[in-house]
Amino acid sequence: MKAAQSGAPLAAALETFGAWFLAILWILPLAYALWAAIHPSAYSARFVLDAPLTLDNFARAWTAAPFARYFLNTFLLVTMILGAQLVLCTLAAYAFARFTFAGREIAFLLVLLQLMIMPDVLIVENYQSMSALGLVDTIPAIGLPYMASAFGIFLLRQTFKTVPRELDEAARVEGAGPLQVLLKVYVPLAKPIYIAYGLVSVSYHWNNFLWPLIITNSVNTRPLTVGLQIFASSDQGIDWSVITAATLMTSAPLLIAFLLFQRQFVQSFMRAGIR
């Protein structure tokens, strides 16, 4: 190692340069969006240091489309999905981890199948189901296909399996029923996994686009992603400043949360990925 370090300072410098170059390339779209959003449109493609600053683009974007309503819709959607996922996946994971019942292995394999065949590709039939249920253009219709998440069940099952049986049995000896054991023993011990799963789920559904685009058709149900797309593709002319301001606005909550809690985000994505 020593030889490599002192013998090849040029190689090390080149590597640092490469890493920084790539990082700057990676941050460039965001940096550009920020530049265009805080300067008047005349400067959206002219990069001069004395360009005047303005927040006007944000104000114009905010009033040009019902973004407040879109924010509310996305907030409701994400909360509803996460709430349902936490309950459903906890119960199912508990069943798979600690109960022996007929057909358990088959049922578990069927659950895992959803990791491959995700609701994202079943849009045609799911639209027809929602239509038959009279749910088209409602917020629950956006969330329903995602609520029983195979990923969540799998993740929690793996976690519940690491809980020592003794804790479980001790609680049962004290007269706790299965649900009380779940709430008192398993759920508290799995807290980091819940946080990890929550972050992954919220960012996935905050960003989800195709299914919400298909199933919604009014301002009162559209989430931010769909609202942004309609805003950007309608006749805004090519006012990049306003579009980038709207773009930043819709990504801001996640982006700010990420910048503030970087470590937790990265660790959550790691935890959720390594199974």
Give the footprint of another protein on residues 103-142 (CB under 8 A): 104-105, 107-108, 110-111, 113-129
> Please, what is the angle between helix 139-147 and helix 123-132, to 10°?
120
Is residue 67 close enough to count as binding another protein by CB under 8 A? no
Give residues 222-251 in contact with another protein (rule: CB under 8 A): 224-225, 228-229, 232-233, 238, 240, 243-244, 247-248, 250-251
By CB under 8 A, tell whether 16 contacts another protein.
Answer: yes
| Least distance in angstroms from the C-beta of 258 to another protein | 5
What tokens were used for 187?
Answer: 């759920």
Given a contact cutoff of 8 angstroms between Cβ atoms, the answer to whether 61 and 242 are in contact is yes
Judged by CB under 8 A, which of 62, 71, 75, 269 binds another protein?
269
- Residue pair 142/216 in contact (Cβ under 8 Å)? The answer is yes
Q: Identify the CA nearest to 206 among candidates 51, 69, 82.
A: 82
Give, as ranges, the residues between 78 and 97 that touch another protein (CB under 8 A). Answer: 87-89, 91-92, 94-96
Q: Is 40 in the site for another protein (CB under 8 A)?
A: no
Please calculate the CA angle 84-88-91 and round it to the nearest 5 degrees: 145
Q: 219 vs 252, which CB is nearer to another protein?
A: 252
Q: By CB under 8 A, tell whether 196 contacts another protein.
A: no
Site for another protein contains 55 (CB under 8 A): no
- Burial of 223: CB neighbours in 10 Å, binned 0-12, 13-18, 19+: buried
Stretch that binds another protein, among 50-58, 163-171, 184-192, 210-218 (CB under 8 A): 210-218
End-to-end CA distance of the chain: 33
- Shortest distance, position 199 Cβ to another protein, whole Å: 9
By CB under 8 A, the residues from 145 to 184 that bind another protein are 145, 147-148, 150, 153, 178
Reduce the DSSP state of residue 187 to 3 states and report it.
Answer: helix
Using the contact rule CB under 8 A, the part of the chain among 51-59, 64-72, 186-194, 261-269 near another protein is 261-269
192 part of the interface to another protein, by CB under 8 A? no
Torsion of Cα atoms, 95 then 97 then 98 then 104, to 10°: 60
Q: Does 14 bind another protein (CB under 8 A)?
A: no
Torsion of CA 222, 223, 229, 230, to 10 degrees: 20
275 binds another protein (CB under 8 A): yes
